Structure 1
Amino acid sequence: MLNLERLRTLDALARHGSVSGAATGLHVTTSAVSQQMAKLEREVGQQLLARNGRGVRLTDAGRLLADHAARILSQVELAQSDIEAQRGEVVGEIRISAFPTAARGLLPAVFATLRRDHPELRVHVRELEPEDGIRAVIRGDTDLAVVLDWSNKRLPVPGGLTRAELLEDPPDIAMPVGHRLAGREEVDLEDFADDDWVSWPEGEFCYDWLMFTLRSKGIEPRIPHLAGEHHTQLALIAAGMGVCVAPRLGRGPVPDGVRLVPVRQRMRRHVHAVWRTDADRRPSVRAAVTALRLAGREAESS
């Protein structure tokens, strides 16, 4: 009889591509991963891993068993969903990830709703950028991820995941109060062709969106300043270091010396929740999505 936890370890190795990655995803030590794999190899009587430089790779037998493991674990997820759905109780735990401004602007209200309505449910949170959140859901490291995309640049959602819209988040342009356009009621992005920009770090989805959007308008942006936190970006704007896109969700207090002006074009961040379709019937997932939708409506109306 194959041990389910050892199959879970093999599945994590196949998905993460390394012992250290599998250990991180499973929240165990690398030695625990190695021990589980050694036991699994003894169970099946075949070598499942081979050395590959400093790392390891799956053998043909390892890949074959990993494919079966993925299907078995998916069936286990479905069984858990069915049992929870039949029982109808929102209990156990749920793991939620969210990008930073959603973690700040949505999750506190979500936690309050779940604590009030479902006190037996334990909620765990991780702050992850959208693409990392989707990968965590696919790997099974997270049950539900709050992600975003933009009206002119959508974030692909792979098959096997379900998505629910939570809210639209209109951004403003943040600029120093002494900026030449600070007195405007609305602005166009083209108005800032000659300005320095403060942006999210390179490689993040919103950085790529900013580059894509400005270049589509014939602007080759100058981005000398990169900061991951919106509060840091706004502090740099207050110091006169450029302009930035400032979404409203989770924005919080705006520093003195910063002026926010709406963008004339219809430019929106779309905020979604995504989860594995085979977990769709779990009461805990449904309860979390309901709480997220409620928090989204409240954020839009505030």
Structure 2
Amino acid sequence: MLDLERLRALHSVATYGSVSAAADVLHVTTSAVSQQLAKLERETGQKLLERNGRGVKLTDAAELLVAHADRILSLVERAQADLEAHRGAVVGQLSMAAFATAIRGLVPSALGRLRADHPGLRVLLREEDPLRSMPLVARGDLDLAVVQDWNNEPLPPAEGLCKGLICDDVADVALPAGHPLAGREVVDLKELADDTWISSPPESVCCDWLLHTLRGVDAEPRIDHTADEIPSQLALAAAGMGNVIYPRMGRCEVPDGVRIVRLKSPLTRRIFAVWREEAARRPAIRAAVEALRAAVPAVPAHLAGAAPNAPR
């Protein structure tokens, strides 16, 4: 009889490319993973790993076993989801990721609701860009992710994942106070296209989207500065370093040297939750999605049509 945890260890090594990476994902030591693999070799009577420089590579026998492990682990997850659905209780553990502004403006309230309504559920949260969190969900390393796409650049479909819309969110533009258009209430993105911009780091959803969007108005983007956190981006804008696309969800205090201006053609992003098809029946997944939807903040009056720089 093949041991499930040993199969999981081999599957993680195959997925992440090394014993140490598998140990990080499984939250155990490298020694523990190595011991599991050694026991699996004894169970199967075949060598599963070979030295490859400073790392390891899978043997043909291991590749065959990993192909079966994919299906076995998927079936186990589906069985666990069915059992949870049969029991109907929202209990156990849910691993979850969300991008930065969702963690600031949406997730805390949702987690508070989950804790109050379902004290038997433990949620483990981490911050991840959607380009990283969706593959983690697909591989089974996360149960749920809060992700985003934009009205002019939808997320690509992901095989084996379900998604549910949480809400829509509109973005404005944050301009340095000395910008020639900073006194306007509304601007056209074309008027700003040749400016210098500040964004999240390359190969993130927001940076990729900004490049796509500015090229859509016939401008070659000039993203001179990048920072993960919106407050850092705004601090750079206050110093006159460039413009920032500023979503309304999860807003922070705006520095004195920044003016928030609405865009003539609104830029809208959609916030989704994504989870694996095999886990769709888990009560914990349904409860988390419901809590996220219930936690969507109302749009403050000064963002719903009044002057964007009105007192907050």
TM range (shorter): over 0.9
1:48, 1:183 → 2: CA distance? 66
Letter paired with 1:210:
L
Map of 1:236 onto structure 2 = 236
Q: Deviations over 1:62-114 (max 9, x none)?
A: 11111111111111111111111111111111111001111111111111110
Q: Deviations over 1:241-289 (max 9, x none)?
A: 1111111111122111211111111321111100011001111111101
Map of 2:182 onto structure 1 = 182
Cα 1:62/1:108, change in 2 over 3 Å: same
Identity fraction in percent: 57
2:284 match: secondary structure: helix
Q: Is the 8 A contact 1:197 1:242 kept in 2?
A: yes
The TM-score, its normalising length taken from structure 1, stands at 0.96
Letter paired with 1:216:
G
Moved more, 262-271 or 168-177: 262-271
Is 1:170 the counterpart of 2:170 in the alignment? yes
Cα 1:111/1:3, change in 2 over 3 Å: same
1:170 match: secondary structure: strand
Q: Is the 8 A contact 1:171 1:268 kept in 2?
A: yes
2:197, 2:215 → 1: CA distance? 13
Map of 1:22 onto structure 2 = 22
1:190 match: secondary structure: helix
In the TM superposition, residue 301 of structure 1 has moved relative to its aligned partner by: 7.0
Q: Is the 8 A contact 1:49 1:62 kept in 2?
A: yes
Q: Is the 8 A contact 2:194 2:220 kept in 1?
A: no
Is 1:205 the counterpart of 2:208 in the alignment? no
Give the alignment of 1:1-302 within 5 angstroms.
1-296=1-296, 298-299=297-298
Moved more, 121-130 or 52-61: 52-61
1:238, 1:199 → 2: CA distance? 14
Would you say how many aligned residue pairs link Structure 1 and Structure 2? 301
In the TM superposition, residue 218 of structure 1 has moved relative to its aligned partner by: 1.3
1:52, 1:263 → 2: CA distance? 54
Q: Is the 8 A contact 1:249 1:299 kept in 2?
A: no
Q: Is the 8 A contact 2:171 2:266 kept in 1?
A: no
Letter paired with 1:219:
A
Letter paired with 1:34:
S
Q: Could you say what the CA RMSD is over the residues aligned between the two structures, in angstroms?
A: 1.4
Q: Deviations over 1:214-255 (max 9, x none)?
A: 112111122221111000011111111111111111112211
1:155, 1:17 → 2: CA distance? 27
1:264, 1:216 → 2: CA distance? 15
In the TM superposition, residue 58 of structure 1 has moved relative to its aligned partner by: 1.3
The TM-score, its normalising length taken from structure 2, stands at 0.93
Letter paired with 1:176:
P
1:152 match: secondary structure: coil
Q: Is the 8 A contact 1:167 1:300 kept in 2?
A: no
In the TM superposition, residue 183 of structure 1 has moved relative to its aligned partner by: 2.0
1:276, 1:237 → 2: CA distance? 39
2:267 match: secondary structure: coil
1:158, 1:241 → 2: CA distance? 37
Q: Give unmatched runs, 5+ long, in structure 2.
A: 302-312
In the TM superposition, residue 157 of structure 1 has moved relative to its aligned partner by: 3.2
Letter paired with 1:18:
S
2:187 match: secondary structure: coil
Q: Is the 8 A contact 1:168 1:300 kept in 2?
A: no
Q: Is the 8 A contact 2:153 2:209 kept in 1?
A: yes
Letter paired with 1:244:
V
2:38, 2:109 → 1: CA distance? 45
1:276, 1:138 → 2: CA distance? 6
